[in-house]
Amino acid sequence: MRTQGAGEAVSAKSPSGWVAVEDTTAGWGLTAPWNKTSTWDLTNKRLEFDGNGDNADGPALAVALDGSANGAINQVVTYSIPRDEDTLKRLDREYRNQERFEDLALIPSLKSVTQDEAVRFGPYVIKEERGTLDVDLTQALTERWGEEGAELQGIEITGISLDEATELKLQEVTARQADVAEAEAALEAARIDGETLREDAKAQADADQIARCGATTRQVTREVSGREIETTEVIPIADDQCQNRLNEQVLLNKWIEAVSGLGGQEGNVIVVPQDMSSILNVGG
């Protein structure tokens, strides 16, 4: 009398070595007492390789990377065994039980495929390219395990670590990249500040041309950051032709005009030029 769970198969081996797959359905069953039985988990069998191997099927898989660096890859792999009597009989004859099948066939194949695929990646890109590595491992292992008699259901890379020396070098590279980025940002800020100063200087010069020399303006189209925009351009007047509309006499006349305009308004306080000594209160 025996029991088996859903997704399990029981094989029985007679003293003469003949193997029979007695059942692949859940429930109770009978086996001749002279036959040896082994139970095979057919569906979504899980293998885990993590850290130092505690509470897992083994430690993280050690790999050599491009550039002579070393690393370790944590993986969770699931597989199934076809519900095919010929396949189950062959596996039982060759390996006797599922644990030996994993130890002698599946795990060595997994280690070999992982090494073959990981060595194509350098230590500074393998973590960033985890998705690509996952796809490559899935494709290669599907083919390899199919030859062994198992169907790969999925691979999950749960972690990638590098040897201590490589990790330190990677940290140094990351720090240098941060320094370079900071320097580039400072350079860009300086460039923007320089552009701002040049624009401010130009604006002041344009304002001086308009106010002092009576320069005119026109609308022009300029390209700024790859875009065409309309802007106002000042048409300068040569110094020898500038009438200096802001000379002392002109400014005084304009001041007098402004004061005259306030003469009819009550309570205004007017500050006179320095060569006058009075403060005038222009009343209504």
User: What are 57-80's pLDDT values in tens digits?
Assistant: 999 999 999 988 899 999 999 999
Please indicate whether residue 149 or residue 191 has the higher confidence score (pLDDT): 149
Is residue 126 over pLDDT 80? yes
What is the rounded (10 degree) CA torsion for 127, 133, 138, 144?
-120
202, 219 contact by CB (below 8 A): no
Task: Locate all alpha helices (DSSP H) within 70-106, ordered by sequence.
Answer: 85-95, 98-101
**Which pair of structure tokens corresponds to residue 100?**
């030996």
**Three-state DSSP class for 271?**
strand
CA 106 vs. chain centroid, Å, equals 33
Range with top average pLDDT, 13-22, 236-245, 253-262 = 236-245
Question: Under a CB-based contact definition with an 8 Å cutoff, are residues 4 and 29 in contact?
Answer: yes
Chain centre distance of CA 187: 25
pTM, two decimals, is 0.56
Segment 90-108 mean pLDDT = 93
The radius of gyration computed from the CA coordinates of the chain, to the nearest angstrom, equals 43
Read off the tokens for 44: 């979504």
One-letter amino acid of 129? E
Q: How is residue 280 written in tokens? A: 């005038």
The more confident residue out of 157 and 171 is 157
Specify whether the CB–CB gap between 181 and 174 falls below 8 A: no
Quote the CA–CA distance of 102 and 95 in Å, as a whole number: 9
Q: What is the reported pLDDT for 146?
A: 95
Instruction: Name every residue whose Cβ is closer than 8 Å to that of residue 36 and which is 6 or more positions away in sequence.
Output: 12, 13
Q: How confident is the model at residue 230 (pLDDT cuts 50, 70, 90)?
A: confident
Selected residue with higher pLDDT from 155 and 245: 155
